[in-house]
Structure 1
Amino acid sequence: MPLPHPPLNPYVPQALGHLPEWGAAPLPLLDAGAAAARAEGLDVFALQLGQPAVVGFSPEWNRALLSDLSTFRSRGSFSSLVPYLNGGVIVTDTPEHAQRRGTLNPGFSRAALSGLTAALRQSLPHFPAGPTDALAWADETVRHLLNVAYFAGEFDDALLSRFLGPLRRPFPAPMLPRPATLAAVRRELLRLGRTRSKHPRPDLLSTLIRQPGWMEDARVSLAAAHDTTTHALAYAVWELAQAPQWHTPEQHPAVIKEVLRLYPPGWMGSRRLRRDLAWRGRTLPAGTLALYSTYLTHRDPALWADPNTFRPERWAHKPPAWAYLSSFRV
């Protein structure tokens, strides 16, 4: 029996399937797919994206997809189609993934990052006093802070802006190849890496260059950090402008969790099925693109009371396991 799926647009060629909606309005498409799945008592639905694809949104699906590495693999997922993310630890599968992640984790640990706190606070731009475009402010602020954290502020800012800019543009902009820009980024990384090998600085690059494949991991992690952090910061500013009573240091942790629940920057993640999978009485064939939607899980009324409302007070209680995904591999 086929999986439920969102309606196809009758005004576009059938061969395109759901691709036009995926590019123009993906969230309504996901909502429609989830509604079709729930109507049949399921937590997965199909999408036609030029290849077989399924989307799941329950905690059980999230747990399986993110922890069953023998069934779900990263290679061949959406990340492989995006030049920014097609490399490094993001697309490394088990058993190499655990080893590669283990070599990177110490440089990104709480203790290691605490040494950057003072430099980042000194570099943090003031928020404008008047009406402000929160997204534009967040974009520039995060790019500047990433430059300080990774490169002690020494990476060419114009090049960094050119490199990261397409990540904020709609699909398919992030998927388009930009060989000249990527070549320039590699040259800049190599220049700074050579400097760090002789004269380490209190930045992430000085830690990364000690690992094999450091240039790829630096480039990929930098891209992954920019767009996600930018949107989280912009939404936090927007919500706090409407609810200033939450703007205190003691309440900021709950605010950030609630922002990441309502507006998860990584609203979709993907894997590829290594083998056939029996799920909820249906067989998902090997090779299927398997997607998980943080957006759908975080707004599921079966998991969250009043899910579409900004309510930081909900974080006084722990959510169900795998109902909240605050960090994950794309």
Structure 2
Amino acid sequence: MLARDPYEGLCRVQSEYGNIAGFGWGPVKYVLMFGPEANAFLFANSGLFTVREAFDVLVPVNGETALIASDGEAHKHRRRLVQPAFHRRRVDGYIARMAENADALLDTWRPGETVDAYAALREVTRRTTVQLLFGDRLAADEELLGGELQTLLDGIDRPYSQLVALRSVPNPFWRRVIQARASVLERLMREIADRRMDPTPRQDVLGLLLDSRDADGGGLTDVELQDQAISLMAAGYETTSAALGWAVHLMLTTEGVWERAREEVGDVPLTAEALQSFTYLGRVVDEVLRLFPPAVMSARKVAEDFVFEGHRVPAGSMLLYSPYVTHRMESVWPEAEAFRPDRWDPASPLHRPATPATYLPFGGGQHRCIGSAMAVTGIKVSLARLLARTGLEHTGAPVTPRSITAMRPRDGVPVVVKEVRAA
């Protein structure tokens, strides 16, 4: 059931078996835990779990020291060094570049043509992510670098069982993935070497990672720099562009949403303050991420036996939890399957205060996505430019999801361009 349709399958497991269920064979045991109580338990008891084994299949792409595959003190140390690059004031400084790249895309659109909004915004997001993470020199190689990065992303965008099988025997696909990573690393290390020869401060993420120091004066090693850069790229652009695709689809197919958001954005110059003032657009983005969270489910390896809701979960089990299921539980979110941006208005009868256990589009606890503020800002900026400059019409083509690592529109989001206004 989970293999055929992981989205409906996960919801059916929760509906039919409750908030904790297990399956498996021999030594391979899986436990699924659903809902706010399960999420709160998981995030409050991080010592019962490890992530290294849970994300072992991602290590060949993301690296041994990537935050997603780090545990304990090593994870805390690396996260402290990476965190400054994603402080709010840093992210606000990225808005102009995000808007510039969105405008460059819209300048190429012509009234009357049909475009795949998801594919187009995906290219823009990749270009922006390369620029903000790696700087202008590497961004000049974005087309070549982007192709290698896409090969890397394709290498981890497979069901877990396929990834295990692909890694276990020599095959052309996995060789291409490993070669792509080596190519990206070679270009990245040349950039790092150039910056060490010319230590002029740079405000991109790579520059901030190079300069970051802990209380003892220690920084990231070369291997840690490589792994953080690649894993941030992998985590950043695919998930952000997926959310943008869903946002365009939902806004154009839900009566009144596009028009209301467009009226709010108007011709207001795009600054950090303006972006914060777009309260309705913020509610739209929150609602998109509720219905289509970047990761359908996530995993932990159980390090110690524990009991949850009367069930003993043995050490060695693979634990799965699902933001997607929590976000679609009627007991948590009334009219959970419906796209209702106004549910985020405290005056709405549908409003429910979001907590880390009820709303977790970027995961939670110590391993919550470190780039979540940057992702949300990028989504809002691209949508604000679309709203300010274009009139779009959905073609009516069905839009269905694919992938559980970054749930995105399977066949894109085709729209007809009705109008394009000058920047």
SS at match of 2:125: helix
1:233 is matched with 244
Tell me if structure 1 keeps the 8 A contact 2:152–2:181.
no
1:167 is matched with 153
2:403 is matched with none
Aligned partners of 2:194 and 2:152: how far apart in 1?
Answer: 28
Aligned partners of 1:139 and 1:151: how far apart in 2?
Answer: 18
Aligned partners of 1:111 and 1:72: how far apart in 2?
Answer: 33
1:280 pairs with 2:339: no
Tell me if structure 2 keeps the 8 A contact 1:196–1:205.
no
Name whichever of 277-286 and 56-65 sits farther off. 56-65
1:69 pairs with 2:68: no
SS at match of 2:319: strand
Aligned partners of 1:65 and 1:115: how far apart in 2?
Answer: 34
Tell me if structure 2 keeps the 8 A contact 1:209–1:215.
no
1:244 pairs with 2:244: no
1:223 is matched with 234
TM-score (norm 1): 0.85
1:219–1:258 distance in 2 versus 1, CA, 3 Å: same
* 1:97 aligned to which of 46, 68, 75: 75
Amino acid at match of 2:231: V
Tell me if structure 2 keeps the 8 A contact 1:143–1:161.
no
Please state how far the C-alpha of 1:271 moved relative to its aligned partner: 0.6
1:141–1:275 distance in 2 versus 1, CA, 3 Å: same
Aligned partners of 1:312 and 1:168: how far apart in 2?
Answer: 32
1:86–1:287 distance in 2 versus 1, CA, 3 Å: farther
Structure 2 gaps of 5+ residues are 167-173, 212-218, 266-277, 347-352, 370-423
* 1:58 aligned to which of 35, 54, 65: 35
1:201–1:123 distance in 2 versus 1, CA, 3 Å: farther
Please state how far the C-alpha of 1:325 moved relative to its aligned partner: 0.4
Aligned partners of 1:113 and 1:201: how far apart in 2?
Answer: 14
Aligned partners of 1:218 and 1:320: how far apart in 2?
Answer: 30
1:149 is matched with 132
Amino acid at match of 1:204: V
Amino acid at match of 1:71: L
Equivalent positions of 1:60-209 (< 5 A) are 60-77=37-54, 79-82=55-58, 83-87=60-64, 88-124=66-102, 125-127=104-106, 128=109, 129=111, 130-155=113-138, 156-157=141-142, 158-165=144-151, 167=153, 171-172=158-159, 175=163, 176=166, 177=174, 178-197=177-196, 198=198, 199-209=200-210
SS at match of 2:12: helix
Please state how far the C-alpha of 1:56 moved relative to its aligned partner: 1.3
1:99–1:246 distance in 2 versus 1, CA, 3 Å: farther
Please state how far the C-alpha of 1:321 moved relative to its aligned partner: 4.9
1:146–1:32 distance in 2 versus 1, CA, 3 Å: same
Aligned partners of 1:298 and 1:86: how far apart in 2?
Answer: 31
Please state how far the C-alpha of 1:258 moved relative to its aligned partner: 0.4
Aligned partners of 2:354 and 2:98: how far apart in 1?
Answer: 31
1:25–1:86 distance in 2 versus 1, CA, 3 Å: farther
SS at match of 1:84: helix
1:302 is matched with 331
Superposed CA RMSD in Å reads 2.3
Name whichever of 204-213 and 280-289 sits farther off. 204-213
Tell me if structure 1 keeps the 8 A contact 2:94–2:132.
yes
Name whichever of 132-141 and 298-307 sits farther off. 132-141
Please state how far the C-alpha of 1:114 moved relative to its aligned partner: 2.1
Tell me if structure 1 keeps the 8 A contact 2:130–2:233.
no
Aligned partners of 1:201 and 1:98: how far apart in 2?
Answer: 25
Name whichever of 109-118 and 254-263 sits farther off. 109-118
Amino acid at match of 1:183: A
Q: Give the count of matched residue pairs.
A: 305
Please state how far the C-alpha of 1:245 moved relative to its aligned partner: 2.9
Aligned partners of 1:164 and 1:44: how far apart in 2?
Answer: 36
Please state how far the C-alpha of 1:67 moved relative to its aligned partner: 3.1
> What's the CA shift string for 1:23-71, capped at 9, x where partnerless?
x421122122112223xxxx11224388211111111111222231210
1:241–1:165 distance in 2 versus 1, CA, 3 Å: farther
Equivalent positions of 1:247-258 (< 5 A) are 247=261, 248-249=264-265, 250=278, 251-258=280-287
Amino acid at match of 2:12: A
Name whichever of 268-277 and 154-163 sits farther off. 154-163
Name whichever of 81-90 and 263-272 sits farther off. 81-90
Aligned partners of 1:45 and 1:154: how far apart in 2?
Answer: 50
2:362 is matched with 327
Aligned partners of 1:121 and 1:59: how far apart in 2?
Answer: 36
Amino acid at match of 2:48: T
Aligned partners of 2:38 and 2:148: how far apart in 1?
Answer: 37
Name whichever of 137-146 and 189-198 sits farther off. 189-198
SS at match of 1:309: coil
Aligned partners of 1:234 and 1:165: how far apart in 2?
Answer: 21
Aligned partners of 1:315 and 1:202: how far apart in 2?
Answer: 34
Aligned partners of 2:85 and 2:356: how far apart in 1?
Answer: 28
Aligned partners of 1:189 and 1:102: how far apart in 2?
Answer: 22
2:394 is matched with none
Aligned partners of 2:260 and 2:17: how far apart in 1?
Answer: 36
